[in-house]
Structure 1
Amino acid sequence: MMRLKVEKIGQGLHPTEVVVGVKTTSGVQQLYIDNDVLAQDSTVSVGWPVAQDKSGATLLVELPGETANGSWRVWVDREDLQTQER
């Protein structure tokens, strides 16, 4: 598994929910997730990249939930991803 760097924006509508910003190649997307999904190092677990651009600098990853605009997969910079230790 991989982990993606995110930035906590605020609290969600439910007490256990948090809103994070996911930096994508098309701008910041808001993602509403359970507070337990957000790690202390401000990362969330994502699957292995589904695709990459020709240069390999950006990768297509699937998020743990749907963003506020309806996306499940987003293009992110390779440097915002890290391999999760088991």
Structure 2
Amino acid sequence: MWERNCEEFARKHSISVGEAKRFQCTAEHLIARRDGGTDIASNIVAACLFCNRTRHRMPSALTHKRYRHRVSRAIRKKKWHPSSIHAALGGVCR
């Protein structure tokens, strides 16, 4: 993930700036604020923008543990990101 320089991240991993944007570091609430979650440290983790947005677009949001399992399984199968990104990152994304 990157926090301040998308272009540098893209260059480092030989991907386009558009592809790199999905890896922007965001703060993800494990229990969403709309479900009573708070802004305390134990309820917030770092997540890439793509994962953060994808989890909250689901009709019924999965718990953070179930969502992590789903993402991990998809990454292992190389089906979470486009194949060009999986190839460029060479297994770095976990």
Q: Which has the higher strand share?
A: 1
Normalising to structure 2: TM-score of the pair?
0.28
**Structure showing greater relative contact order (alpha-carbon pairs closer than 8 Å, 6 or more residues apart):** 1
Identify, as 1 or 2, the structure richer in helix: 2
